[in-house]
Amino acid sequence: MRYLTFALTKGRLANKTLELLEQVGISCEEMKDKDTRKLIFVNEELKLKFFLAKGPDVPTYVEYGAADIGVVGKDTIMEEGRKNYEVLDLGFGKCRMCVCGPASAKELLNSHEMMRVATKYPIIAKDYFHNEKHRSVDIIKLNGSIELAPIVGLSDVIVDIVETGSTLKENGLEVLEEVCPLSARMIVNRVSMNMEAERINNLIKAVREIL
Ligand code: PRP
């Protein structure tokens, strides 16, 4: 039997994914060692491999078949636009993609004047403003701490992830519009879905039952 390989998103999503997999009888003891510098972990008994990657790289590993299965946020799936099957909403990592800013930006947001939008998600932001709101905007790509942008005058609004809303609140910003809800999803390589149909479908079924 060949190995089925999982690409997991480093951090909180990976921990949640491992918890979920344990519930369906898939565990990887090696991976629980927090001090390890190992990058790939094996469950010999079930012929499974696991590795951790940065979120935006997960759909890439899966598209090229370096991993059969990936677990990653819907935000990353939309932004990366890779050709994979999205097979399950895992129900954790729930948050929302929103347009946020100071309350004073509402008027500009509802106008057709030029507006600057800072975001870590330029594709999602462009799709939202161009295709849904039929409005042109100036998109500025940033890599983190997006809430800073409207505060220091880099942009009028931001498109960013809101979970509890406390980052916004503590910085005098608010949700102005919701773009879409987000959560962790399971994705599968298109060829693996056929070649390993039985094993992958059994896994999907088992996970679906406990969700
Ligand atoms: C994310 C997001 C917001 C924050 C939202 O940032 O970009 O800044 O979390 O969470 P909240 O609504 O619960 O406050 P993250 O901490 O991942 O880091 P980043 O700013 O470097 O992207």
pLDDT mean over 192-200: 97
Give the residue, out of 167, 170, 175, with the most ligand 1 atoms within 8 A of its beta carbon, to mutate for a pocket test. Answer: 167
Question: Rounded to an integer, what distance in angstroms lies between the CA atom of residue 156 and that of residue 149?
Answer: 8
Question: Rounded to an integer, what distance in angstroms lies between the CA atom of residue 145 and that of residue 92?
Answer: 23
Query: Is residue 35 scored above 90 in pLDDT?
Result: no
Higher pLDDT, 12 or 104: 104
pLDDT in tens, 167-187: 999 999 999 999 999 999 999
- Residue owning the nearest CA to atom 22 of ligand 1: 144
Query: Is residue 37 scored above 90 in pLDDT?
Result: no
Cα maximum dimension of the chain:
61
Q: How far is the CA of 183 from the centre of ligand 1 (A)?
A: 14
Whether residue 166 has its Cβ less than 6 Å from ligand 1: yes
pLDDT at residue 126, rounded to an integer: 98
C-beta separation of 105 from 156 below 8 A: yes
Helix H, strand E, coil C: the string for 6-48 is: EEEECCHHHHHHHHHHHHCCCCCHHHHCCCCCCCEEEECCCCE
* Closest ligand 1 atom to 166 CA: 14
pLDDT in tens, 135-155: 999 999 999 999 999 999 999
Whether residue 169 has its Cβ less than 6 Å from ligand 1: no
How confident is residue 127, by pLDDT bands cut at 50, 70 and 90?
Answer: very high
Whether residue 131 has its Cβ less than 6 Å from ligand 1: no
- Residue owning the nearest CA to atom 19 of ligand 1: 144
pLDDT at residue 30, rounded to an integer: 82
Q: Determine phi and psi for 65, rounding to 5 degrees.
A: 80, 10
Whether residue 12 has its Cβ less than 6 Å from ligand 1: no
Q: Angle at the Cα of 76 (from 119 to 125), degrees rounded to 5? A: 35
Whether residue 143 has its Cβ less than 6 Å from ligand 1: no
Query: Is residue 111 scored above 90 in pLDDT?
Result: yes
Query: Is residue 36 scored above 90 in pLDDT?
Result: no
* Closest ligand 1 atom to 145 CA: 20
Q: Which two tokens stand for residue 25?
A: 């009888």
pLDDT in tens, 62-96: 999 999 999 999 999 999 999 999 999 999 999 99
What is the residue-averaged pLDDT of the chain?
Answer: 96
How confident is residue 28, by pLDDT bands cut at 50, 70 and 90?
Answer: confident
